[in-house]
Chains A and B, each alone.
Chain A
């Protein structure tokens, strides 16, 4: 499906075109938001709101950004708002939750313990670093796209990316996880 066509079709009155857009972007956005928020329910709220904002924007939407970058940017901002609100409202949510995520394919990833720990450590990184890492590794975005999503300069993206990876590696090392390859060493 051509994304620009879908947009045009929707603006032209074909409501089903919007469903296609949702279908297409839902999972990456959910993945991103779940990681950032550590909570699938909140992620659902945020992602739903992303699409609602798109709806409100759409008749006037000028493609300054590719749609997916635009959605990611909205999603990121909403996640940040959400976190600010949460931390204000309820101190108790300061927990670093391990997101509840549907299970992996059996046998793909044997040691859940270690994997959960990796996810927890990732969750402990400063938000800027976490975001750029997620966008790069999970979503396969280029530095340039990430700059558009986050509003950072290219240089800053590079800095955060490297720092994030370096921070994470020292934490992994402290946790004793760097000594083996997660894919090859089965426990």
Chain B
């Protein structure tokens, strides 16, 4: 830009920085020169934008712990130390791996957090000497994370202290100096204060302590009987972040870990480990594979020719991962669900013929990512479109989280804007009601017809966030409102908008899920809209929607809200098929093995396919659902190789419908490149998800390989911004997804044992004769490996 010093004066003039004479000078120039006037107008408009931005922004503040640290420093008590978080975390992770603590499989189920730690520890207030000595429990980050995270209610002071203590114990072995730095002292002070003045503290909330099944699965005998002294909110957030980061980090270092309690005696530890790696009674090789590596295993068609699963139209996982990647952070691998990634995209499947609700498609082509000879089978389902004129009226009850956490990142603002978009879409025959909840639920808007748009808008505008989260209460009131206004012939829906953190009221997930199911039976379905990142409880929202026969979406920005609530409103609100399931029946003579990509938590028992009482997936108008299989055809396969069946309750026809399509070997596209672009897109997206999951199947894969296939699609599918964005995400992920380090011998041995045991199980099941020798050879090799493992452990430094 050419620089003209006089132009600076224009800006000075605008900003009131000129003295009287100079200002007059500018004004006379403005009169003479209309172009200058235009320039001024532009600068002024820009300035207005800046001011608007300024006004939009409520200044963030230091966190309470930092302020406390400064106060302490001002009083010359203690100098705040550098935040030890990162180093500490690496160290702890290292200790965990060193100790062979493999209890991290389950950590993968912990919802991710923004993973930042923001607390400067201040030195200890006099340590809680009066406290009963904490029970020495080996530190287990999974449990620690869970105690604070999943239980959702603020941890009690005792629980917290114990965790800090545990952390110190583990660290003191490896690095006594670092152990001194265990953050958390900052909160001891808070807790002392809280305890000293119980009447000043918020009334202790007696929460239900019935843990969710997941908690039960994870916690190992740590009684939660302490009195509930509420921790300050910062403390809770911080603990959650810290624990989750810890668990995630350790999980990253030790990808293929198992839940196992490690005794201190090395010999016992090896035995415990090996026991975990043994085949369990009744366990199929497939189940074993899932237990070992967290992915669907490849199945011998001769052993199990049927693959059955419930449809899943959710897309939250992709949106959430996108949000993470945009911030330069890899999503937690447990939050990556392959099927949700694939289903996020358009597939341009042909709609069903008139009279049918779903169309069933199958396509076949060579897989570019799996080993040679592997083919990719794409099962596609497209639901019929319902034109606006034909859609039944909708009766929506929004249950909106307005707790304090919704203030962060403008979560509530996003929900409000989404609602405003929706209000514009709905018609007079539709109704909307709003319930909000924080520590208590409140009916903000009784159901109103959209004829009263201004009333609805005013209610939306009035929402403000603050307080704690009582999702249970909110849902209950929402359901009551929906029930009171239940309209026959309309689509009655409750829509929960939340970051998913229930920290007061019914915090036990089962309780909430039970409610949801009850109302589902009354034909009031539940959708969930997730917002926010920090403590977004993705798993819970997905479960709720699943139980409520609705959909779970995650909205990370206004475009996504528009996509879900405007572009796909009808798919979202009009269900055309309920309890939709798919069963693929492979011909063992034609297909040696197959593997379903994703749908890990949607698997159904084969015999349930025709059991219409079994709850399965819901499909909305116009929805497209994709499932991908990798199959290994036998040499010279020809003719029908598989039959794909879909079974669902057709809402329009009021009956259960079963459709099928036969897949023939000849159908296979001659090479991947010859497959249709949308097919190739699905393959790329699925591989991307597998890479982000660090799936054992994608170990040989790379983002670069996906990019090679995906980049041409940008030109082949012009006008699809999702494809463009996908490629951008791939680039982003490529920078972040570094190759795992070469595992040490300990890890390699365990891995080898896992593989052998799994192989053994497969061979056992093949139950063929004449393989006895192979089995014995495997046994011998495992014995050697076990011996070696013992030696390796003996050489490690002893631990407490």
List A residues at the B interface (Cβ < 8 Å): 10, 15, 18-19, 22, 26-28, 30-31, 34, 40-41, 43-45, 47-48, 51-52, 55, 90-93, 95, 97, 100-104, 106-110, 112-113, 115-116, 118-119, 122, 133, 136-138, 142-143, 158-159, 161-163, 165-169, 172-173, 177-178, 181-183
Contact = CB atoms under 8 A, between A and B. Distances in A.
Contacts of B655: none
Contact of B60 (A34, A107, A182): A34
Contact of A169 (B43, B328, B462): B43
Which of B10, B54, B83 counts the most chain A CB atoms within 10 A?
Answer: B54
Contacts of A113: 557-559
A51 B70 contact: yes
A161 B5 CA distance: 12
A28 to B, nearest CB: 7
A103 B46 CA distance: 22
Contact of A97 (B52, B71, B327, B559): B327
Contacts of B463: 106
B290 interface: no
Contact of B410 (A43, A45, A47, A103): A103
Given A55-B73, A137-B47, A168-B46, A143 B52 contact: no
A44 B62 CA distance: 5
Interface stretch (B224-232, B412-420, B672-680, B759-767): B412-420
Closest 9 CB pairs of A and B: A27-B59, A18-B74, A162-B11, A103-B410, A169-B46, A104-B56, A31-B59, A182-B52, A158-B8
Contacts of B12: 143, 158, 161-162
B49 A95 contact: no
A31 B60 CA distance: 6
Given A30-B62, A138-B50, A178-B45, 11 more contacts: A18-B74, A26-B67, A44-B66, A45-B83, A97-B327, A106-B416, A106-B462, A137-B54, A167-B1, A169-B46, A183-B48
B558 A108 contact: no
Contacts of B11: 158, 161-162, 165-166
User: How many B residues touch the partner, as a band?
Assistant: 35 or more
Nearest to B56: A104
A10 B74 contact: yes
Interface of B: 1, 3, 5, 7-12, 14-15, 17, 42-43, 45-63, 66-67, 69-71, 73-76, 79-80, 83, 116, 118, 120, 326-328, 407-414, 416-417, 461-465, 557-559, 735-736
Contacts of A30: 59-62
A161 B47 CA distance: 11
B118 A137 contact: no
B414 A112 contact: yes
A113 B560 CA distance: 11
Interface centre among A44, A51, A136, by most chain B C-beta atoms within 10 angstroms, is A44
Nearest to B414: A112
B48 A106 contact: no
Contacts of B70: 18-19, 22, 48, 51-52, 55
B58 A100 contact: no
Contacts of B736: 92
A187 to B, nearest CB: 9
Contacts of B80: 48, 52
B62 A26 contact: yes
Nearest to A116: B557
Contact of A104 (B43, B46, B55, B62): B55
B45 to A, nearest CB: 5
B120 A108 contact: no
23 contacts: A18-B70, A22-B62, A31-B60, A34-B59, A44-B118, A45-B118, A48-B120, A52-B80, A55-B73, A101-B409, A104-B410, A106-B461, A106-B462, A109-B55, A112-B414, A137-B47, A137-B50, A143-B12, A158-B12, A159-B5, A159-B8, A169-B43, A172-B49
Given A15-B71, A158-B12, A107 B461 contact: yes
Contact of B408 (A90, A100, A178, A183): A100
Nearest to A40: B60
A91 B51 contact: no
Contacts of A167: 1
Nearest to A167: B1
A118 B52 CA distance: 10
B358 to A, nearest CB: 35
Given A173-B42, A178-B45, A178-B46, A31 B558 contact: no
Given A31-B59, A92-B736, A102 B1 contact: no
A142 B3 CA distance: 22
Given A102-B58, A103-B413, A112-B417, A166 B326 contact: no
A133 B43 CA distance: 12
Contacts of A109: 52, 55-56
A48 B69 contact: yes
B8 A162 contact: yes
A138 to B, nearest CB: 5
A44 B69 CA distance: 12
A163 B56 contact: no
Contacts of A161: 8, 11-12, 15
A94 to B, nearest CB: 8
A10 B76 CA distance: 12
A116 to B, nearest CB: 8
